[in-house]
């Protein structure tokens, strides 16, 4: 039977150097995965199991390689925050994946921004309500091209706003490694090809305003340049 209207095609994220697109299915995000960021958000970064939230697949906005992505300023917030994150792209699905097997399920890696309406997220958190309006809004997940090769274990991850460094850490500061994250996540959800995992942000998150230019970088994955639309 025909669809009653045209079905929406998945968002396609360019694969670096490939001339191909990675079709996005779901977006999973890890909360508080760097101790210093957990502290700045008022949490105790003890090794509690990782927790997850989701963004819609069509919240992903891919950057064309080498270009500056124009990102809308979302409605109903006065405190839009940047969170630079390593994104893991899943190429092979599975459930209850062992950490030792996790690497075989990864297609590639990218730089992503978990854009956050911080005022609404904290309001929802403090009221014990879901985070969606703070985290899962339209265009909340800009992402750079997907690279097949893994970044180095201690690769630098950083973000500058208007040339001023705001976030800087290294991937070995993650509380839960990529392998551990995949192991935990696949115990709750069956992972499928096309899933993206945003692996959490280091300390230094802060507000951006229309006109700001964000430059995110992870060693080995190039950079991602975003301008907040006026």
Question: Interface residues with Mn ion (CB under 5 A)?
Answer: 83, 114, 201
**Residue 224: CB minimum distance to Mn ion, A:** 15
CB nearer to Mn ion: give 15 or 57: 57
Residue 203 exposed, middle or buried by CB count within 10 Å (0-12, 13-18, 19+): middle
**Nearest-approach distance from CB 195 to Mn ion, in angstroms:** 16
Q: Which is nearer to Mn ion, 148 or 168 (CB)?
A: 168
Q: How far is the CB of 1 from Mn ion (least distance, A)?
A: 40
CB of 109 to Mn ion, least distance (A): 16
Residue of this chain nearest to Mn ion (CB atom)? 114
CA–CA distance, 137 with 104 (Å, rounded to integer): 31
Nearer to Mn ion, 114 or 215 (CB): 114
Query: CB within 8 A of 66, min separation 6: which ones?
Result: none
8 A C-beta contact, residue 91 and residue 63: no
Select 15 or 167, whichever has its Cβ closest to Mn ion.
167
């Amino acid at each position: 039977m025909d669809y009653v209207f045209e079905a929406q095609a998945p968002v396609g994220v360019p694969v670096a150097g490939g001339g191909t697109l990675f079709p996005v299915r779901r977006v999973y995000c890890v909360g508080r995965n760097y101790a210093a960021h957990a502290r700045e958000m008022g949490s105790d970064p003890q090794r509690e199991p990782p927790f997850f939230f989701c963004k819609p697949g069509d919240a992903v906005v891919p950057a064309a390689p080498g270009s500056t992505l124009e990102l809308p300023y979302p409605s109903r917030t006065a405190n839009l925050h940047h969170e630079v994150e390593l994104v893991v792209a899943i190429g092979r699905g599975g459930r209850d994946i062992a950490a030792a097997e996790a690497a075989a399920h990864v297609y590639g890696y990218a730089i992503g921004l978990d854009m956050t309406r911080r005022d609404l997220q904290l309001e929802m958190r403090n009221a014990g309500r879901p985070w969606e309006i703070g985290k899962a809004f339209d265009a909340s997940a800009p992402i750079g091209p997907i690279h097949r090769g893994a970044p180095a274990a201690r690769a630098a991850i950083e973000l500058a706003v208007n040339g001023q460094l705001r976030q800087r850490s290294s991937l070995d500061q993650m509380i839960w490694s990529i392998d551990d994250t995949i192991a935990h996540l696949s115990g709750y959800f069956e992972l499928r090809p096309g899933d993206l995992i945003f692996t959490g942000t280091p300390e230094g998150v802060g507000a951006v305003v229309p006109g700001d230019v964000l430059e995110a970088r992870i060693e080995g994955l190039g950079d991602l340049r975003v301008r907040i639309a006026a």
